[in-house]
Chain A
Amino acid sequence: MSLKPIFTRTPGLKTTPTSYCPGCGHGVAHRLMAEAIVELGARGRTIAVAPVGCAVYGYDYWNFDTTEAAHGRTPAVATAIKRVLPDRMVISYQGDGDLASIGLAEIMHAANRGERITVIFINNTNYGMTGGQMAPTTLAGQITTTTPYGRNVDETGHPLKIAELLAALPGVKYSARGALHKPGLIRKAKSYILNALKIQEANLGFSIVELLSSCPANWGLTPVKAVEHLEKVMTPVFPLGVFKDETPGQEG
C-alpha cells in the first residue's frame, strides 16, 4: 500500500531554522510567502528583495534568488529588477520602519507608478531589529524604547494605515491586511498573498499585503499575551480585510 503525502515541507524554504524570537510573526510570513510562490510554480523565476530589519536574513530561509537593499529602498530596487526582467516574480519584503518611515517615498512612488511588484509588509508596530523603537505604525499610548511614556499622537503622529493609504492609488490593484495570530487568519493571509502574486502574474499593477505580526520580545509580553494584544488592541486600529481587489471579475 502506498502512502500519499498530503503535507510536505515547502521547497520554497530552506531547512535552516529561523533565528526569530519566540512568538515572532516573520517566520510564519516567510512560510506563507514561500508556499504561495511554490503553488504558483514561480520559485525558479522569483527574485526577492530582503529588508533591513529583523528579516534581513530572509535569504537564509527563502529558497529562491534574493538580494539585499538599503533601508527603505526595497521598492526602488524591486522596481528596477522588474523593469529589467518583466517576466520574473519580484517581491519586496519590508517591515514597518523600512516601508512606512524611511522608505515612504519609495513605496508611495512605486505604488503610484503601478510597478508590477508585490510587497509583503510586516506591521509589528515597532522597529524590531534595533530593539523596539517607535515606528509610524506604533499604537497611541504604546510604550516603546523611544516612547517611554507611551506614544503621544499629538506630538508624534497617528498610526499610519498603509493598506488603506495605498489602496487609494490608481496604480495599486490589490491591497489587503491580514494577521498571523490564528490558524484561520493565517490561511486567509495566505490567500491574500496568492491573490497579490496573481495580480503581478497578470501584469495588472502593484499589489501589497500588510500582515499584522506579533513582536513579543519588544512588546514585553509573552507570546500568548502578545497574541491577545494583537487581537484585542491592534486589530481595532488596523482592521483586517481587502481594501482593493481589481482582479478581473472581482471588482466591487
Chain B
Amino acid sequence: MNRPVFMKGNEAMAEAALLAGCRYYFGYPITPQNEVPAYMSRRMPEVGGVFLQAESEVAAINMVFGAAVAGARAMTSSSSPGISLKQEGISYMAGCELPGVIVNIVRGGPGLGNISPSQADYWQSTRGGGHGDYRTLVLAPHTVNEMVELTMDAFDLADLYRNPVLVLADGLLGQMMEMVRFPDPIEQRKTGLLRGRDLPPQDWTLTGCQGRSPRLIRSLLMKPGALEEHNFHLEKKYALIEREETKAEEIDCEDADIILTAYGTSARIAKSAQIMLGEQGIKAGIFRPITLWPFPYNRLAELARRVDRFLVIEMSLGQFIEDVQLAVAREKSLKQVKIGLLARPGGGVPTPEEIAARAREVLP
C-alpha cells in the first residue's frame, strides 16, 4: 500500500521517472522546471543512477540519445526555449528509433517570453518540432497524480515503440503541490497506458559485438529508395500508435449542450467551469485529450454527431483548436457546428467564470 504524499508536480514527476527505472537524467537549468534537475541530482546517487548537468539542452538531448543507444532508460526535462534546442536531437532519435522521455514544462513564448504557465508549444509538440517526417507521442497530464502516472507510462511507451515520448505540462502543474500516490511500477504497467503488454526485447542496443555481429544505429540512409522505405516503415508504426494509444477523458459528453474541450491546466479549470455551468442549468461536457499525439480525432468526431456546440479553451493563440476542428470536420461541415475559442496566450490563465461566460456566448 502506497500512502499518498503531498508533493510538488516537478518533484513528483522526477520520482515517478525513478520508479519507472530511469537511471540516467541529463538536463540544463531553466525555469519553471528547475526542481526536476535539483531533485534528480539528490536522488540519482541514492539509487545508483547518473545525474549529469549538461553544458546545454543540445548536449542533454544527445546524452539521452547516447544512453538509449546503450539500452538505458533516460530522461531530460526543460522548458520551451530549451525544448526548441532539443528538436534536432529528437528528430535524430525518431529517425534512429530510439526510446527516451522528454519533459516540457511549457512557459510563455515566443522568444524568452515569460515563466508563466502556457500551452503555446502545442504545435511544436504535436507537429514534429524538428526536421523531417516523424512523430513523437505527447502525453498531457492535468494533475500532479496524473503527472506521476503518465511519466511512468511514458517510459513504457517509449520502449514499446522505440520512439521518443514527450510529457507536456506547464509551470502551474510543475509548481503546484498536490496529494499524490506513487503506484507500484508493476501495477502501473498493468493499469497504465501499457495495459500489461510485454515490452519488446532490446535486440538492437549497442553493448559491444562480443559473440554477435556488429550493430549499427543510424538515420542516414543514402541508398536510393532506402529512406523512403524507412519512412514508410515509420508511418506504419505511427498508424499503429494512432490505433492503439489514443486516450481522452470524457465527462457527461453524450447529452451535453456544449462540450468544453481542453487539455492539461486548461482542462483542469474547465472542470470547475463545468460545475458552475451546471448550477446555471447548462449541461456542459468535458472532453480532455490525454494523448495530444495521437489525438482522439475519432472519438471527438463521434461526439460531434450529437453535439454541435464546442468551446475550446487553450493557453495559446488558437493552436489546439485546429485539431478540434479537424476532428469535428470528420463528421460535420464546420458550418453546422459552432466551435468557440477562449485563448489566453502569453502566460494568461483562464478563470472558471471566464470559461462559463464564453460557453454561454457559444450556446444559442
Question: A residues near B, CB below 8 A?
Answer: 43-47, 49-50, 56, 59, 62-70, 73, 76-81, 83-85, 88-89, 105-106, 108-109
Contact = CB atoms under 8 A, between A and B. Distances in A.
B208 interface: yes
Nearest to A71: B88
B67 A84 contact: yes
Contacts of A70: 62, 65, 88-89, 92
Contact of A85 (B54, B59, B207): B207
Interface string B206-225: 11111100111111100000
Contacts of B211: 44
Given A77-B66, A83-B67, A44 B210 contact: yes
Contacts of B216: 59, 65-67
B30 interface: no
Contacts of B304: none
A76 B209 contact: no
B179 interface: no
B64 A80 contact: yes
Nearest to A105: B55
A80 B63 contact: yes
Interface in B52-99: 52, 54-56, 58-60, 62-67, 69-72, 74, 88-89, 92, 96
Contacts of B7: none
Contacts of A88: 207-208
B50 interface: yes
Interface string B339-354: 0000000000000000
Contacts of B96: 67-68
Given A67-B216, A73-B59, A80 B208 contact: no
Nearest to B59: A76
B155 interface: no
Q: Which 6 A-B pairs have the closest CB atoms?
A: A80-B66, A44-B210, A45-B208, A84-B70, A77-B66, A76-B62
Contacts of B26: 80
A80 B67 contact: yes
B214 A64 contact: yes
B24 interface: yes
Contacts of A59: 214, 216, 218
Contacts, number: 128
Contact of B208 (A63, A64, A77, A83): A64
Nearest to B210: A44
Given A76-B62, A81-B67, A83-B24, A109 B55 contact: yes
Most chain A CB neighbours (cut-off 10 Å) among B62, B74, B217: B62
A56 B220 contact: yes
Interface of B: 24, 26, 50, 52, 54-56, 58-60, 62-67, 69-72, 74, 88-89, 92, 96, 206-211, 214-220
A105 B70 contact: no
A105 B218 contact: no
Contacts of A73: 58-59, 62, 65, 89
Nearest to B56: A105
Given A70-B89, A84-B67, A76 B207 contact: no
17 contacts: A44-B210, A44-B211, A47-B208, A59-B216, A67-B96, A70-B62, A70-B88, A73-B59, A76-B59, A76-B62, A80-B65, A80-B66, A80-B67, A81-B206, A84-B50, A84-B71, A85-B207
Given A80-B74, A109-B55, A46 B208 contact: yes
A33 to B, nearest CB: 14
A63 B64 contact: no
A83 B327 CA distance: 45
A85 B215 CA distance: 16
A19 to B, nearest CB: 11
B222 to A, nearest CB: 9
Contact of B220 (A47, A68, A108): A68
A64 to B, nearest CB: 5
A69 B207 contact: no
A95 B69 CA distance: 22
A116 to B, nearest CB: 13
Nearest to A66: B216
Contacts of B62: 69-70, 73, 76-77, 80, 106
A84 B72 contact: yes
A44 B59 CA distance: 27
Contacts of A76: 54, 58-60, 62-63, 65-66
